Amino acid sequence: MRGRMAGLCLTGISLVAAVAAGDRAWSQPATSESASLAAWAKISDVLQHPRCLNCHQPKTPLQGDRRRIHVPPVARGADSKGVGTMRCRNCHNDSDTSETPGVSGNNEWSGVPGAPNWQLAPVSMSWQGLSTGDLCRMLKDPARNGNRAPQQLVEHMETEDLVLWGWKPGAGRKPIPVAHKDFIDQMKAWVSGGTACPP
């Protein structure tokens, strides 16, 4: 009996250790569903800002805060990076001409914005015209979000250069008006509360 109890205790300790090791990779205190919904309301404001929405389009990108048609006209292409000689990277690249650290890719001589891997978002991630509820459901659907689990969405928003560009878009463009750290905190609260979506 004593040996069996010792074995059970060791098994329990092993399980606790395994869970703790898994939690070290990404840890966030659990939040309620209502807190998750409140976080989503703030997240959706960012995702519907022109810095994000201009490239989350079904066919062609838009430009500027007024979200005008891209000049010169460009097409998506099979890989979402343009067609023929009109490739996104031809103008929008990561050759930084600014003297401001962290504004990678913005060409301040020509005014053309840029960042590594500049492209349109995949067609599955076209956000134009979606309600905040539909946008929420799209974002957490692996079939439409690049096959990302919720915690991978947080990592994508936290580290992807093209996402980070929205906070440092260069001269003449308004950055996303929410601090990046605050946005990531809201993403973590949304995820830890179960990625709740409005109707």
Task: Provide the pLDDT confidence category of residue 15 given band limits of 50, 70 and 90.
Answer: very low
What mean pLDDT, rounded, does the chain reach?
84
Q: What is the pTM of this model?
A: 0.80
Q: Are 88 and 118 in contact (CB under 8 A)?
A: yes
Over residues 31-50, mean pLDDT: 95
Query: Exposed, middle or buried, 66 (CB in 10 Å: 0-12/13-18/19+)?
Result: exposed
15-39 residues labelled b (16+ CB within 10 A) or e (exposed): eeeeeeeeeeeeebeebeeebbbbb
- Give the integer Cα–Cα distance in Å for 199 and 131: 9
Q: 69 is written with which tokens?
A: 């048609």
- Give the integer Cα–Cα distance in Å for 169 and 101: 12
Side chain identity at residue 88, one-letter code: C
Query: What was the pLDDT predicted at 99?
Result: 57
Query: What was the pLDDT predicted at 10?
Result: 35
Q: What does the pLDDT look like over 163-187, one tens digit per residue?
A: 999 999 988 899 999 999 999 999 9
Pairing assessment for the beta strands 62-63 and 86-87 based on DSSP bridges: unpaired
Percentage of the chain exceeding pLDDT 70 = 80
Higher-pLDDT residue of 7, 137: 137
Q: 76 is written with which tokens?
A: 């998506």
Query: What was the pLDDT predicted at 29?
Result: 65
Q: What does the pLDDT look like over 112-141, one tens digit per residue?
A: 999 888 999 999 999 989 999 999 999 999
Q: What does the pLDDT look like over 72-116, one tens digit per residue?
A: 999 999 999 999 889 999 999 887 655 555 546 888 888 899 988
